[in-house]
Amino acid sequence: MMGDLSLPMLIASVLAASAPLIIIALGETLAEKSGVINLSLDGAVLFAAMAAFVVARETDSLLFGFFAGGCAGMLTGVIVGYFSIYLHLSQVAVGFALSLLCRDLAYFLGNPYSRVQGPTMLNSKLPFYDSLPSSLQIILTQPLTVWLALLLVAVIYYFFSFSKAGLCLRSVGENPAASFARGLNPAKIQMLAVLGGAFLVGIGGAAYSLSLKPGWGRPQGAEGIGWIGLALVIFGGWNPIRVALGAMLFAFLQVSGIGLQDLFPGIPSQVFQTAPFPLMIFTLIFMHYSTSRSRKQGYSSGRLQRIAGKLFMSRAPKGLGQSYRQE
Amino acid sequence: MDVEFQHISKNFGSVKALTDVSLTARSGTIHGLIGENGAGKSTLMKILTGYQSKSSGSILLDGVEVQLNNPGQASEFGIGMLYQEPMDFPPLTVLENFSLGTPHQSRQELHFALKTLSIRFGFDLNPDRPVELLTVGERQQIELLRLIHCSIKVLVLDEPTTGISPAQKEALFPALKQLAADGMTILLVSHKLEEVANLCSEVTVLRHGKLTHHTTAPFHFPKLLTAMFGFVPKRSDRSDTRDTGPPILIFKDIEASGERQGLHRCNLTIAEGEVIGLAGLDGAGQSTFLRLAAGLISPDQGKVILFSDPLPYGAKASIRAQELHTAFIPADRLEESLFARISLRDHFSLREEHGMFWQSRTETRKRAEEAIATFSIKGTPEDLAEDLSGGNQQRLLLSLLNRNSRLILLENPTRGLDIQSGQWIWQHLRDELSPDTTIIFSSPELDEILHYCDRIIVFHDGLIVLDSAVPETSHDAIAAVMTGIRESAP
Amino acid sequence: MKKLILDILLGSLLVFSFTYIVLLIAGAPVLDAFKHIWLGAFASSIKISQVLSVWVPLTLCSCGLLFTFRANLWNIGIEGQVTMGAIGAMAVLRTPVIDNPTLILCLAFLTSMLCGGAWGLFAGLLKTRGGVHEIFGGLGLNFVSQGFILWLIFGPWKRPGIASMSGTELLNRKLWLASLPGWRVATAGIVIAIAILILTWLFLEKSRLGLKLKAIGQNPKAALLYAISPERYYLQSILIAGSCAGIAGFIQTTGVYHRLIPSISSGYGYLALLLVMLSGYKIVLIPILAFFFASLNVGAIQLPIVLQLDSALSGVIQGCCVLCALFILGIRQRRAQP
């Protein structure tokens, strides 16, 4: 296995493995930029993956499957949004309970579809495939979800940085009172952001059960991904590009785990499967810690740290976790 | 557009912020609204913009009653407000802040509009700079330009000149006069009398949520000051001056951030047994001063020396200050000094310094009952702190003070209290505590300061502008330096 | 009081209707499903003792979480704390030096507390020193402990010959926590759980520690004015929570599985988080709700066999209970405000 893991292969598998996570993390970024933490991510991903697989199998249509996944994600968004924005309940409490509920609901409802065959998204060949050098052929032969994920990174980046609607959304996340004072409706904007984000999370979940880890089962293979997505958003500084890079790093850890497994037959494969999760979280925590220290000391410290500070500088939207109430 | 307020009242729970206020601002004029902190000026203006809801009364625009439920609706009528605390988005750039809330336009158009308006008002704003790097004054400039860009008809300015340089003021004032001459209605909320006199043709004074005075130009300053701050107390009412001992609190070259202006170039020595009043407008530096002394914030530069012991930096400072028998009672009782859903008795248990591991119910209950009796708190030991009225919360806080406290810092100790409660509190502070206890308090009420303290320190824009023994100064002189009038009072 | 009963009725109705709809969607016989959960939990003394053996770790974890919730901390790392407790216990149990089983078990008990507590403290330090939110520190540590236990089971502690997901070798019988004849629950476990419940009640309601945690949870800013350092008490509360979770790990190892398995915590930590939220952070409700949750868990075990349904139904009901409780709370708060 390690033998044929050449560089193009490695890049290709990292891209493929990161695509669903990118979509999920971007969805969460959208919600958090508006000030709402959707902590139900882990359950929502599984629930959407289940819904997508079941619908795709019943209708024999991948398109319907992805759509169903998105809708299932959005359903969780409705609950998180309504509970936290309109009922002003703790976003963490609602999200956590919903996360466990959705996970179990997915296992329960998906049970009859465990380990059955269903439609799978195949790698699509690019139109100019034959004219490419072979290494590029390997890298660029990917399922559509990869292109979707990369496109979304650009779209969301553009949305936040250059569009009026993105500006309004960010303003609500920074200071809901001030955006209210300027005639915006913070609750409505937050709700839309949560729903849109949750739809993306659903699409990401569908990308697991229809493409990356096709099929349904207990465990499905997407367990824990939601938590990684949440951590990526926070430690990626709410920046779509950095969030996507973080997702790729995680995919790299996963892929290289599979490769290393053959090099060290003494260590059980389960360790390699679990290792990327703690590694990822601690990489993120370490980055956060080192930059927060350099932030505290100002920028007087070394040049490297200055660069690192700029790269990893992150600050949460000021209004994150609060919902706005008119006085 | 004429703006007419009719019988506006606003209650926050049981607190009356505004009572039956009626006033009219005519099209093409600048109408001044003055009063001390908490007089209700800002609340009245926020009701006009729909940012806050009113409890009763109505608002008429050009004689027609309108419903203004949120700022979106108000801006459709052409009402815009420059808020006192900048209502903006610090991490976003100047241009982004400028464009939020304006009708949709391309980036180039907005860029151009911002540039033209900046030139017209003599402001220097870099469109791509994040707003958090700007001064409060510059942030208000952006907001002002945005409002003008939205071609509003009614402009509310809440303290627009905080942090603006004199040169910019010279550009701003003619521009405002020009806007009014073009038919805009301008409502100017301020406590800087000279500015009001300079700009406004009519002035309304609010005090404790009620309209106390209305006049047209020319203005008679002493009359306005009386309407703002109440009557000057007679000297004979004053408490006796105490004897003072060795220095116990020294501020050495303090530079600190906090509130609006922070605190700058602060050097001060306070002696044992002094009763000191800190005067100044809201956010001028008094609260920063008190929190520095209590160890709750650390200075950026300089040292705070408490009982000849320099306070450490960071989180340990507050606990060290308490070990040195310093007590602090902040103005916001439920937010900062009491636990809303914990009973009175348990507050006493928390206060015990060398308590056992277990709570001693009977003992703390006895202490709570004693305190309820001696401090005449209306409540039982089992009542939750949030169920007490403001006055009783303040009495509870006083009863929680350590008996051997040697320095007591109070932030606006009679805030929200009725007259009897306020007098009771002061009687306790001055008479019940041992006379070598030092008391430092801030208050927006000049009467209170003049009445109870021996020495007064006046803050303006983060600087100490007056430090004097009370008999050597006067009500008018203090009111004048508080409101930024440099020369001696008129 | 009337309002409370009304709320409980309304909540049960909501939970029941939701479960009903879920079962309908799954095409399952609704009443049969409920009947089998009931039978699965209470049909025989063996079943009831199984329920109790789930009740023990749930109660232990919930007791620990009451401390952290009181200080307004989200100790999501409790799963890892259970796992580390189990690992700590196992490490002692595998030491061949000591002969006396009682002594070994006592040592294992203490080590499990220590390991769980240390794991909790680690998450706490990440928060107070590193500024990492306890949810993420805790999650990271959960993943770490999961990797660690897998490595042990497949590596140094593997069964001679074969390493598998089914865990390490069974413990020597002498090291099993004893149970009464005919019962399948360790008596010591129940005693410990009840003791911890009482201790928790004493600490939270009668000690100044409990009061201080409450004060910090409500208003950390004000606590500073009472010379109470929030950081210090954050660490204390999470240390206690970790120790309780560690004990749960000890009982899972010595009283339930009698070996180390990868999923030794069985998700009880997360479940306890739900449970404590549902109880409204009131200790009197903990044993009752823990019994309810435990019977759901045990009752659902046989669903796959008799009705070909996934046992996750119990989790659906539990999660739904919490969401409905939150919903009712939200509606009531909304009504109370003008």
pLDDT in tens, chain C (338 residues): 788 899 999 999 999 999 999 999 998 898 999 999 999 999 998 999 999 999 999 999 999 999 999 999 999 999 999 999 999 999 999 988 878 889 999 999 999 999 999 999 999 998 888 778 888 889 889 989 998 998 899 888 988 877 777 888 899 888 898 888 878 888 999 999 999 999 999 999 999 999 999 999 999 989 999 989 999 999 999 999 999 999 999 999 999 999 999 999 999 999 999 999 999 999 999 999 999 999 999 999 999 999 989 999 999 999 999 999 999 999 998 888 75
Instruction: Please list every residue in chain C whose beta carbon sits closer than 8 Å to the beta carbon of residue A292.
Output: 130-131
**Of the candidates B51, B70, B92, which has its C-beta nearest A170's C-beta?**
B92
CB atoms within 10 A of CB A163: 12
Query: Please, which pLDDT band fits residue A298 given cuts at 50, 70 and 90?
Result: very low
The single-letter DSSP state of residue A301 is S
Partners of residue B336 in chain C, C-beta under 8 Å = 219, 221-222, 225
| Short-list A86, A110, A93, A89, CA closest to A40 | A93
> What is the 3-state secondary structure of chain B?
CCEEEEEEEEEECCEEEEEEEEEEECCCCEEEEECCCCCCHHHHHHHHCCCCCCCEEEEEECCEEECCCCHHHHHHCCEEEECCCCCCCCCCEHHHHHHCCCCCCCHHHHHHHHHHHHHHHCCCCCCCCEHHHCCHHHHHHHHHHHHHHCCCCEEEEECCCCCCCHHHHHHHHHHHHHHHHCCCEEEEEECCHHHHHHHCCEEEEEECCEEEEEEECCCCHHHHHHHHHCCCCCHHHCCCCCCCCCEEEEEEEEEECCCCCCEEEEEEEEECCCEEEEEECCCCCHHHHHHHHCCCCCCCEEEEEECCEECCCCCHHHHHHHHCCEEEECCCHHHHHCCCCCEHHHHHHHHCCCCCCECCHHHHHHHHHHHHHHCCCCCCCCCEHHHCCHHHHHHHHHHHCCCCCCEEEEECCCCCCCHHHHHHHHHHHHHHCCCCCEEEEECCCHHHHHHHCCEEEEEECCEEEEEEEHHHCCHHHHHHHHCCCCCCCC
Answer yes or no: is pLDDT of A209 > 60.
yes
User: What whole-number distance in Å separates Cα of residue A325 and Cα of residue A88?
Assistant: 9
Tell me, yes or no, whether A323 lies in a domain.
no
Provide the shortest C-alpha distance from residue C141 to chain B (in Å). Answer: 28
**What angle separates helix C45-70 from helix C230-251, to the nearest 10 degrees?**
170
Of A97, A104, A109, the CB nearest to C323: A97
Q: Are C80 and C142 in contact (CB under 8 A)?
A: yes
| Cα–Cα distance for residue pair B270/B248, rounded to 1 Å | 6
Q: How far apart are the first and last CA of chain C?
A: 22
pLDDT recorded at residue B488: 42
Q: Bridge-partner residues for C237, per DSSP?
A: none
Measured between beta carbons, the chain C residues lying within 8 angstroms of B358 are 206-208
CB nearest to A281's CB, from C136, C150, C154: C136
Q: Give the closest-approach CA distance of A122 to chain B in angstroms.
A: 42
Q: Are the CB atoms for A20 and A150 separated by under 8 Å?
A: no
Q: What is the pLDDT of residue A327?
A: 67
Ramachandran angles phi, psi of C70, nearest 5°: -65, -35
Contact A182 B91 (CB under 8 A): no
The single residue listed with the structure tokens 């009370």 is B470
- Residues of chain C with a CB closer than 8 angstroms to some CB in chain B: 206-209, 211-212, 214-215, 218-219, 221-222, 224-229, 231
For residue B9, the model assigns a pLDDT of: 94
State the count of interchain CB pairs (< 8 A) between B and C: 63
In a domain, A321, yes or no: no
CATH of the domain at A58: 1.10.3470
CA distance C101 to C94: 12
Residue written as token pair 């300079």 = B198
Contact B72 A318 (CB under 8 A): no
What's residue A305's pLDDT? 52
Instruction: Examine residue A171 and state whether it is found in any structural domain, yes or no.
Output: yes
Answer yes or no: is pLDDT of A300 > 50: no
**Domains located in chain B, CATH noted:** 3-229 (3.40.50.300), 235-325+402-482 (3.40.50.300)
- Cβ of A285 within 8 Å of Cβ of C130? The answer is yes
Question: Could you tell me the mean pLDDT of each successive run of 10 residues in chain B, 490 residues long?
Answer: 94 84 94 84 93 93 93 93 87 92 88 92 87 81 91 90 69 86 92 84 91 88 82 51 82 84 89 91 86 92 91 86 92 88 92 80 90 88 88 88 88 78 83 84 85 90 89 83 60
Three-state DSSP class for A154?
helix
Q: What share of chain A is helix, strand, coil (3-state, %, to 5)?
A: 75, 0, 25
The domain tally of chain A equals 1
Closest Cβ–Cβ partner in C136, C308, C316 for A104: C316
Which range of residues forms the domain containing residue A268?
7-312
Decide if A264 is inside a domain: yes
Q: Report if residue A319 sits inside a domain.
A: no
Q: Roughly how many angstroms between the first and final C-alpha of chain B, as a whole number?
A: 35
The reply to whether A300 falls in a domain is yes
Q: Are A109 and C309 in contact (CB under 8 A)?
A: no
Task: Check if the interface score ipTM surpasses 0.90.
Answer: yes
pLDDT in tens, B249-271: 999 999 988 776 789 999 999 99
The answer to whether A132 and C335 are in contact (CB under 8 A) is: no
Which residues does chain A have within 8 Å of residue C165's beta carbon, measured at their own beta carbons?
270
Convert the pLDDT of each residue in A137-192 to its tens digit: 888 888 999 999 999 999 999 999 989 999 999 999 999 999 999 999 999 999 99
B4 beta partners = B24, B60
Tokens of C80: 């890892």
- Predicted pLDDT of residue B97: 94
> Which residue did the predictor score with more confidence, A49 or B413?
A49
**Tell me, what's the pLDDT at B404?**
83
Is residue A198 very low, low, confident or very high in pLDDT (cuts 50, 70, 90)? very high
Contact B268, B251 (CB under 8 A): yes
Q: Tell me which residues of chain B have a C-beta less than 8 Å from any C-beta of chain C.
A: 294, 296, 315, 318-319, 322-323, 328, 330, 335-342, 346, 349-353, 355-359
Q: What is the 3-state secondary structure (H, E, C) of chain C?
A: CHHHHHHHHHHHHHHHHHHHHHHHHHCCCHHHHHHHHHHHHHCCHHHHHHHHHHHHHHHHHHHHHHHHHHCCCCCCCHHHHHHHHHHHHHHHHCCCCCCCHHHHHHHHHHHHHHHHHHHHHHHHHHHHCCCCCHHHHHHHHHHHHHHHHHHHHHCCCCCCCCCCCCCCCCCCHHHCCCECCCCCCEHHHHHHHHHHHHHHHHHHHHEHHHHHHHHHHHCHHHHHHCCCCHHHHHHHHHHHHHHHHHHHHHHHHHHHHCCCCCCCCCCHHHHHHHHHHHCCCCCCHHHHHHHHHHHHHHHHHHHHHHHCCCCCHHHHHHHHHHHHHHHHHHHHHHHHCC
Answer yes or no: is A326 within a domain.
no
